[in-house]
Amino acid sequence: MSSHQRISRKSFLNWFLGTSLGATILATLYPIFRYVLPPEVAEAPTNRVLAGKLSELPPNTGKVFRFGAKPGILVRTPSGEVRAFSGICTHLNCTVQYRPDFQHIWCACHNGHYDLQGKNIQGPPPRPLEAYRVDIVGDEIYVTRGA
């Protein structure tokens, strides 16, 4: 057998073992990798919810409500207007609240302030809160997203 043949057989073996080792590792890791990532839960997208009652929301108060899986915030301004925003602080994901003493929206986590339009006015939040549309039907406050 010539040395040339021997080398090529050796390199073939190397290649074969190397790639099958790689394939085995991949075949082991891939399912684990996919398993760790949780499956998407098919949730009917919530676009409109009954967020609260007008009679339970006097002027200069606020309320966190459930918008699908996420919190939203209803605000009744001191002048009596009702507004709704996403309740999730744009800084690092805390849930905001209405502070009657400041008369605006506040995030306790890093002292972030938003005005009554949901605009970030002080502290670390980098963006305004997403605003929702509010419809009042009788005493009921409905909030709609993406309008």
Partner 1 sequence: MRLGERIWHALDSRLNLQPLVQFAKEKSVPRHRHDWMYYFGGLTLFFFGVQVITGILLLLYYRPTAEAAFESVQFIMSRVPFGWLIRSIHSWSANLMIAAAFVHMFTVFFSGAYVKPRELTWWTGAALLLLALGFGFSGYLLPWNELAFFATRVGTDMVSKVPLVGDWLLKVLRGGEDVTGATLTRFFGIHVAILPMLTSLLILLHLALIQRQGMHEPQEKPPLPPRPFFPNFVLRELMVWLVGLAALAALAAFFPWELGKKADPFAPAPAGIKPEWYFLFMFETLKLLPAKIFGLDGEVVGLAAFTAGGLFWFLAPLWDRKRARGEKSLFALLVGWGVLLYILSFTALSYLGVFQ
Using CB under 6 A, list all residues that contact ligand FES: 89, 91-94, 107, 109-110, 112, 123-125
Tally of CB atoms within 10 A around 79? 8
Rounded CA-CA distance 38/8 in Å is 46
Q: Which stretch binds partner 1 (CB under 8 A): 1-9, 31-39, 51-59, 75-83?
A: 31-39
Helix, strand or coil, per DSSP, at residue 133: strand
Q: Minimum distance between the CB of residue 115 and ligand FES, rounded to whole angstroms?
A: 15
Q: Taking the complex as a whole, how short is the minimal distance between the CB of residue 92 and partner 1, in angstroms?
A: 4
Strand order in the sheet with 131-137: 48-53, 140-144, 131-137, 82-86, 70-76, 61-67
The site partner of 37 among ligand FES, partner 1, none (C-beta below 5 to 8 Å per kind) is partner 1
β-sheet bridge partners, residue 76:
61, 82
Quick one: 25 or 108, whose CB is closer to ligand FES?
A: 108
62-121 residues near partner 1, rule: CB under 8 A: 64-66, 69-71, 73, 87, 89, 91-97, 107-111, 120
Provide the H-helix boundaries in 37-141.
Answer: none
* Nearer of residues 54 and 123 to partner 1, judged by Cβ: 123
Residue (of 47, 43, 70, 62) closest to 142 by Cα position: 47
Residues binding partner 1 (CB under 8 A)? 36-38, 41, 64-66, 69-71, 73, 87, 89, 91-97, 107-111, 120, 123-126
